Each structure stands twice: as C-alpha cells, then as structure tokens.
Chains A and B, each alone.
Chain A
C-alpha cells in the first residue's frame, strides 16, 4: 500500500543504492589495479568478469523492478484519471448514478443501471455458454489427442479464434447469426429483432472460448503422468481418471482460465455494440430482458464518447468507465478468493 501512496519514494531509494553500489565497485576496481597491475589483470580475469557480471545482475534486477513499478503506476494513474475526470458527474448526480434507470443526455440525467445489468448479463451468459466448450476442448486436446496433425490443427484454430478482430465477429454476427436468431425468436414468440442480449452473449461466448481452452489444455498436459498411471493401475477408466485425478489437479488453473475469459467478456466493445441493440430502456419481462435489446457500459462509451458535447455528459461517460473498472476489479478479487480457497483445500 505504501507503494500506492508514494510511488516516487522507492524509486529515489533505488537510484541511491545503485549509485552506492557503483561507487563501491569503482573503489575496489581501482585499488586492485594500483596494487598488482598487469599480474592481476592476467590472473584475475575471472574476478573482473564477476564484477561486471555482478553489476549486470544488479542492473537487470532493478530493470525488472522498474518495469513492474511502471505498470503499477500506470494502473493507479488510470484510476486517478478516471476519478478525476468523472468528478463533475459525481458532483452533479451523486451516488444515485449507480441505480438510476434513465440515461437522457438532453435533460442531463444519467443512470448506469441499465448498462450495468447489460454488461453483467451478457458476460455471465456468454461465460455459461462457453464453459462446456472450453472445458471439452481442453480435456480433448490435453488428454485424448495430445499429438499429431489433428491436435495441432485444432489447437491452432482455437488460438486463431482469439486473434480475429472483434469487428469481424460483429459483422459475422450481424449478417449470419442475426437472421438465424430472428427466425428462432419468431418461433418462441418474442419480438423478432434478431439482435439483443442473447445474440451478443452468443458472439461473446465464441470470442472467449480460446482463453479458457488453451490455458486448460496446457495445464491438463502438465498433469504428472505418475499420478495418472497410479490411477490406471488401480483399475480406473479414462473417464474416471479425468474426473478424479486430472480435474481436481487442474481445478485452480481451469478456473483462472474462466476468469480470464470473463475479463475479456466484460470489456468487449465492438462486436457487442454491433449486436446488442443499444437501447437504454429497461425491459419489463424476463423474456424481453434476455432476448430483447440492451446495452453495455463499454458500448455506451464507444457509441457516445466522440459526440458528448457538454461537460456533465462527457464526465458521466467517464464515470461509466470508472464503474466498469470497479466491476472488473471486484470480479477479479472474488475470483482470486475462490482460487486461493480451492488451492488450500
């Protein structure tokens, strides 16, 4: 926490110690060279080398540390900027920004509730849809088909899913997925818009599969074979080995992969913006909430930021970013708690 409060202090100390070290090294170096001159140079080549090596070690360590601290400063900086920039909106709207249901730039009334719900709903629906696929892929590639061209092909294809730009998913969704969903919606008797929360959750699910899947595959491949062989020796079938040896062994890692997917789903903007319907009205029935149009925090920001033409409006959008930041942090913290709990058991 002290790092958070005084990011400059440790740096100052760092440079001070570096200088000290340098000074000591110089002294040592000069003394030895005065005493024995050439002899030393010939005999203690190894010693000189170790001095420079030592110096390099210190520099390298400091470098790593500075890099990490820069990242920390960056995140804290983002947080401070978000808070700072959203002050006008916080002052004007107060805490009721969080549960206000109306988003009206004309009247200057802003409420984040519809977008908060939209974000959580799409992300968790996507997660629930994606988990069976990512786990299945992870188990298949990690245990059943670990080598050979098919395995490589599958693994590369799944990694490719993550590399496709999200706007491509958006267009694919708009032109391929939406008509299919529309027919489906007409059959089950909801307004056949085709776009909405459900459609964007589907696209999101596809987009986040690779994160949990490829992490899961690597982890399952790393399960020590003595463990598995032990289970086989006891007469376990392959399914039993997976269920009672591999899954318990990799549980934490698999969950971490899921968390990674969730993080991606929460912040995904472009594809969702194209498919969610972008309406800030809160639907009144459960069916309409799920299949109807909605909006997420990220897509509201993407949509309205460039043309936000007065101070409170702009600031309310930034405050949405702040809320999204906190939602991500809270979900990550909960995830970490769950992981540590599993690991301790």
Chain B
C-alpha cells in the first residue's frame, strides 16, 4: 500500500508540475513550428529579440507541412513554410491566413564535372531537359552551345534529386514547370514529385553527398548550404536573358519586383533583370483574425510585434547566415500584410 500511496503522490506531483509549467508557458511564450530552412535564422532572431523583450519563442523545425498542420490544429501561434498553402490546406484551415515574407532563399544547381570548377552556364529549358532525362551527357550540343570555350567531357549526367518531400524541391520543380511546358505537363510542381530520372538523396546533405561523390553528377541545393559546403554551382539564365550567378544580392533582387498584396507569390523566373531565377520567399503564417480559441489581445499583440521585428530589426541577421534579406518592395508588402491582422475585427498594429 505504501508503494501505491507514494506512486499516487508522485503522479499528483508530476501533474501539478505539468499544470504550472503549461500555465507559465501561456504567459510570455510564443510557439511556432514549420520550415527547417528558416530555422537557423529564426533561432538567431528570436534569441536577440528575447534579450530586449520579455518574450520566449519556441520554434520547432519539423518541416513546412508539419508547421501548416500544427497551425491548422491551432497548437502553435505561427507556422513557418517555404511554400504558400495549397488549396486543400487552405480549405482545411477555412479562415484567412496571412503569409508574411521573412527572408528569401535561392536554390542552386550544384554539379561535379571533373575539370570544371567554375563558370558552367545553364538555362531553364536545358535544366528541365536534364531532369527529364532527355539530355544525358555533359557534351550534349545544347550544353555546349551555352558554354563556348569550355571543354565539356563525354560523360553521362547523373541526375540527383531530393528523395524527401521538401520546400527546396518545391522551388526547383516550380521553376522547371515555368520554363518547360513538358515538365509542367509530365511532372508538375510539388514538394515531392514522380522524378522521371535520377537518384534521390535524403535531405540537403544527401544530395550534396551524392553530387560530391559521383563524377558527372548534377543536383540542387539551397544556396546557403552550397556556400557553406563550398560546392560548385552553375549560373542560370534569367527571364531577361542574362546569366546570373546565385548570390544573396541577386536573390534579394529577384523579389524586388511588383508583388501582389498577399505576398503569396512564386518568385521563380523573376522579371528583374538582376535577379537570380530560382528563388523563393520563406513565409511565416499567422491567422488574419487573431481572436481564436481563448487567445488574449496581449498575446496577439506580442506575436505581431515579433513579426514586425523579424521583417525590420531581425533582417540584419540574414546575410551572416546566408539568407537573402527582404527587398524594398517585399518589405513594403510585408508591412501592409502585418497591418491587416486583426483582433476581434480591430487592427492590432
């Protein structure tokens, strides 16, 4: 009996601890979940914000899809996503969700061609043909025509793609769908597609590992990852016909165009002649009407203040972490979107 009693005591103690913890968690803690891509930036920005404000932010990098699901279930205050809500997700949530651009990122074509360390030029249609399995060797006439003066080896192209569902694949396939009708018809755009050719690697590191190891390989990685791991990547021709080297500046430039008011826009194949064509925003997702469940007005204000800081003061953390900061036009749109958030029908900011 003594054992049972002490067990009971223990259970009561644990339960009370849980209750007090969750009660304290509601006071000054904001919960977020989603994109792994934006996680390093978020953790840095939130840590800095926490130094000057009495706010703790707990962001779980579980993937964009998971973040959207958690937001739908109202278990988090905000989600992080590399792709806007799709129609089914929007239908499930049922109420308007604001997409606030936080930063932008680029996806680069990484390659491993022996003897070719820099300066490979590619166009969108050629990339699409490579990924469709139509161009199979490096000295194909189409690639050679873009790289006059470069000696390309007679080597089979090994196409590498992501095997896991990811925002990176979404941006990549979104771009290929825009520049190649055949790709749009046959494959389409999504975080995971039915790849017509090649090998799959799990995660950025899986793709990078395969590209680095396999002579003749081509793959795609986030720009930040490619920079950190000193990979070679190709210049891509943009809509204006210029070959653009992917950098943070050319990534930011790609979003410096006329943007729709809700910022739910794909930046790939940008109109900006200085912009790198395979880029995307990463968004924070919040409910437009912040009065749901039993949220207090103070909490809604706290969340909006945090988001406001993210797009202003927080932006200085982008470049050291290899994220492209928001462009002027993106910032303007983001400010407007934040101001449109309401609590019980009244504007918060």
B303 lies within 8 A of chain A by Cβ: no
- For residue B185, give the distance in angstroms from its CB to the closest CB of chain A: 11
A 297-311 binary contact with B (CB < 8 Å = 1; else 0): 001001110111111
- Is B200 within 8 A of A277, CB to CB? yes
Q: How far is the CA of A106 from the CA of B86 in the complex (A)?
A: 12
- Contact A106-B209, Cβ < 8 Å, known A278-B200, A278-B202: no
A 178-217 binary contact with B (CB < 8 Å = 1; else 0): 1100100000000101110000000000000000000000
A285 lies within 8 A of chain B by Cβ: no
Q: Identify which of A102, A105, A193 contacts B190 (C-beta below 8 A).
A: A105
Interface of A, helix, strand, loop or mixed by DSSP: loop
Q: How large is the interface on B (under 10, 10 to 19, 20 to 34, 35 or more residues)?
A: 35 or more
A273 lies within 8 A of chain B by Cβ: yes
- Contact A306-B86, Cβ < 8 Å, known A194-B214, A278-B200: no
Q: Identify which of A104, A175, A277, A306 contacts B165 (C-beta below 8 A).
A: A306
- Is B213 within 8 A of A178, CB to CB? yes
Q: Identify which of B64, B193, B206, B213 contacts A194 (C-beta below 8 A).
A: B213
Q: Which of B35-71 contact A (CB under 8 A)?
A: 62-66, 68
Q: Which of B63-114 contact A (CB under 8 A)?
A: 63-66, 68, 86, 88-89
Q: How far is the CA of A277 from the CA of B214 in the complex (A)?
A: 12
- Is B194 within 8 A of A105, CB to CB? yes
- Is B164 within 8 A of A106, CB to CB? no
Contacts of A279 in B (CB 8 A): 195, 198-200
A293 lies within 8 A of chain B by Cβ: yes
Q: How large is the interface on A (under 10, 10 to 19, 20 to 34, 35 or more residues)?
A: 20 to 34
- Contact A106-B201, Cβ < 8 Å, known A304-B164, A306-B65, A309-B68: no
Q: How far is the CA of A195 from the CA of B160 in the complex (A)?
A: 12
Q: How far is the CA of A106 from the CA of B165 in the complex (A)?
A: 12
Q: Which of A255-287 contact B (CB under 8 A)?
A: 273-274, 277-281
- Is B210 within 8 A of A195, CB to CB? yes
Q: How far is the CA of A102 from the CA of B196 in the complex (A)?
A: 11
A241 lies within 8 A of chain B by Cβ: no
- Is B88 within 8 A of A107, CB to CB? no
- Is A306 within 8 A of B199, CB to CB? no
Nearest chain-B residue to A273 (Cβ)?
B202
Of the candidates B66, B192, B210, B214, the one having the most CB atoms from chain A within 10 angstroms of its own CB is B192
- Contact A307-B213, Cβ < 8 Å, known A273-B202, A277-B200, A278-B200: no
- Is A303 within 8 A of B198, CB to CB? no
- For residue A167, give the distance in angstroms from its CB to the closest CB of chain B: 10
Chain B residues proximal to chain A, CB less than 8 Å: 62-66, 68, 86, 88-89, 156, 158, 163-166, 187-202, 206, 209-210, 213-214
- Starting from the known contacts A182-B214, A295-B200, A309-B65, 18 additional A-B residue pairs (CB-CB under 8 Å) come to A104-B193, A105-B165, A105-B190, A105-B194, A107-B188, A175-B209, A178-B213, A274-B201, A277-B200, A278-B202, A279-B195, A279-B199, A280-B195, A304-B192, A306-B63, A309-B89, A309-B190, A311-B88
